[in-house]
Amino acid sequence: MKRPSWLFLVALLMLAMGCIGGGGVQYTLTVEKQGQGTIDPTVGIYEYGEPHVMTLTATADDGWIFVGWEGDVSSPANQETTVAVDGQSVVKAVFAQQVSTLDGRTIVVDAGHGGRDPGAVGTRGYQEKDFTLSVARQLELLLNTTDANVILTRSGDEFVSLAQRANMSNAAQADFFLSIHANGHNNPEASGTETFYDGSWRAQQFALDIQKDMIGILGTKHRRVEAWRGLYVLGNTQAPAVLIEPGFVTNPTEELLLMDSAIQEELAESLYNNIIRHFGKK
């Protein structure tokens, strides 16, 4: 009987190991991350020819904290964990920004216009008062997670005078007053983002940062950041005060952006992050 050649034996061994014809099973681990931090080994795809247990370590960047792992890991809440790679495995390390506390701070969120006062009205009929209330409510939910004392000048579609808005803030001895608006103009081509503040240093720093963020979110052009106490709520509130105008509801392109619920959510998150940054207790 003729013996099998050595080449045939090598080929048979390679086939058994999955190296020929796709007969083997490929085990892969994809490691993802959310937020800012590093994962050791580096984020990426790791491949093994057989089931494998791998140790991963997550380290948050400065100003961030490690929240936990998502996926089939041994210790979801620990920075160091193991994962059994026994197929197409995916895990994610989640990081979140470290929050300076707002406990005890009183933040007044002013949704511009309301009730019989619709504010600016777009070509599609979208009203400024609806935009301002939507963003204000979302911001309120975020601020409530910090145990801040949050005051809405209006929580529904109701008319509130400018004097009442300023008085609410002053009576509460607010630490910050934020008025949310959208712009309007007779010329539908008028566009861009602008922010006004009361002249105080803290309000100015907030205004400069939020202006950059809004332009980044909306893709609009910069119009101005300006101290303007001639605006009633900026001139008559005792707390540092800022009024934002992310875009023109009377501009057809910007109207669509302001109507977008995802854009509204991003704006609320940016406002929240900037309030934490500028008015939080370190």
| Closest by CA position to 255, among listed 189, 178, 179, 180 | 189
- The answer on pLDDT for 25 being more than 80 is no
pLDDT at 86: 83
- The answer on pLDDT for 35 being more than 90 is no
CATH of domain 22-97: 3.10.20
pLDDT at 3: 54
User: Residue 210: helix, strand or coil by DSSP?
Assistant: helix
- The answer on pLDDT for 13 being more than 50 is no
Each residue of 46-95: pLDDT tens digit?
A: 777 778 888 999 998 887 778 788 888 888 878 899 988 888 888 998 88
Q: Which residue has the higher pLDDT, 15 or 144?
A: 144
pLDDT at 68: 83
- The answer on pLDDT for 103 being more than 90 is no
- The answer on pLDDT for 257 being more than 60 is yes
Residue 13's Cβ-count burial label (10 Å; 0-12, 13-18, 19+) is exposed
The model scores a pTM over 0.85: no
pLDDT at 2: 52
Helices first, then strands: H and E counts in the chain = 7, 13
Rg of the chain (C-alpha set):
27
**What are the sequence ranges of the domains in the chain?**
22-97, 106-279
pLDDT at 233: 98
- The answer on pLDDT for 19 being more than 60 is no
**Fold designation for 106-279:** Aminopeptidase (3.40.630)
- The answer on pLDDT for 8 being more than 70 is no
What mean pLDDT value characterizes the chain?
88
Instruction: Please state, as a whole number, how many other Cβ atoms lie within 10 Å of the Cβ of residue 84.
Output: 15
User: Residue 46: helix, strand or coil by DSSP?
Assistant: strand
- The answer on pLDDT for 12 being more than 60 is no
- The answer on pLDDT for 23 being more than 90 is no
176: tokens are 């910050």
